[in-house]
Amino acid sequence: MRIAMGGTFDLLHAGHEALLDAAFALGGEVFIGLTTDAMALQGREKVTPYRLREQRLEAWLRKRGYTGWTIGPLEDPYGPAASEAFDAIVVSEDREAVAKALNEERARRGLPPLAIHVVPMVLAEDDAPIASRRIRAKEIDRRGKLLRPLRVNVGSANPVKIRAAAKVLGTLFTKPRVKGVDVASKVAEQPFEVEAIEGAINRAREALKDADYGVGIEAGLFWNEQVRDFLDVQYCAVVDKRGRVTLGHGPGFEYPPFVVERVKAGKTVGDAFEELTGMKGIGQTTGAIGFLTEGRMDRTRLTESAVLMAMVPRIRKDLYRGGMRPATK
């Protein structure tokens, strides 16, 4: 099997290594197209000179013990793969469209299509891809570790939500910068069922702006057939710069019949609890759960559980992202 792949391989990093490992895992001969300086500089301001990139790539391949490889200059997106006898191409997921266009070009030339093997992007700590430009800017190191504080915008002015997000993210990152951004949930003031999930996602997306993560938190009433009543469940959505959303929710609990009846009549849970307890702004302090558990649980801790659950796929990236995608043509 003859395999093609290509790239700039500037400041060789974990993403490059994953791509190269995937190509050699297929077996056979591997041609590595290395972009020329002229081509590389079409999309970036600075690049390591070709010869130095070639030397570093060769040294890494030898250190890894790989054989049967050739490195050649790549002066256009397709290189020799557009006209020569290759069997497969290995690309990162952001270059899949280029590989498909390459097959179209091969078809125009009367050549058989290449099997396209797609390798997922390797993500840095902030769930954005590892990239040479980010390493050069000293945002991350070559393994994807953040070299600056994580930036997080929480889609709310409620101090409970901001505090809960800061507490959870503070256990996962070094001194993250967490701030509240007052945004609209775009759902009813008292959400039911899926509206609560939509509200959390809307808040996260609206809050993201120039941060690494946008966090949205929304509580709603969900019907539970077993108890024949509504449970209050708080959802959290976390969105990253790539637009990927992860969701989680905290524990659910029943409200007193008095509160449920008031909500069914059109009031919000907050209004109903103020009427029940005479306490103003309960949602921004201990929350209804603080009152109902007599202080054994407060809203901050309840919210923390939802935030942590939404972060699970981001904590264990190794388990939630697959390896190389099966070949397509």
Report the pLDDT value the prediction gives residue 329, as an integer from 0 to 100. 77
- Backbone φ and ψ of 7, nearest 5°: 170, 175
Containing H/E element for 218?
A: strand 213-224
Reduced 3-state DSSP string for 1-26: CEEEEEECCCCCCHHHHHHHHHHHHC
Q: What is the pTM of this model?
A: 0.87
Fold of 151-318: Maf protein (3.90.950)
Residues 6 or more apart in contact with residue 242 via CB below 8 angstroms:
127, 128, 129
Q: Rounded CA gap, 135 and 300, in Å? A: 36
Ordered by start, the domain boundaries in the chain are 2-144, 151-318
Report the pLDDT value the prediction gives residue 302, as an integer from 0 to 100. 94
Q: Taking the chain (329 residues) in consecutive chunks of 10 residues, what is each chunk's mean pLDDT?
A: 96 96 95 96 91 98 97 95 97 96 97 96 94 95 96 96 97 97 94 96 98 97 90 96 96 90 87 84 76 90 97 91 73
Of 124, 95, 119, the closest CA to residue 18 belongs to 119
Q: Rounded CA gap, 315 and 169, in Å? A: 10
Q: Rounded CA gap, 208 and 276, in Å? A: 36
Q: Which residue has the tokens 């290449």?
A: 114
Report the pLDDT value the prediction gives residue 322, as an integer from 0 to 100. 65
- For 2-144, CATH number out of 3.90.1150.10, 3.40.50.620, 3.40.50.2000, 3.40.640.10 equals 3.40.50.620
Report the pLDDT value the prediction gives residue 324, as an integer from 0 to 100. 65
Whether the CB-CB separation of 190 and 269 falls below 8 Å is answered with yes
Judged on CB neighbours under 10 Å (0-12, 13-18, 19+), 329 is exposed
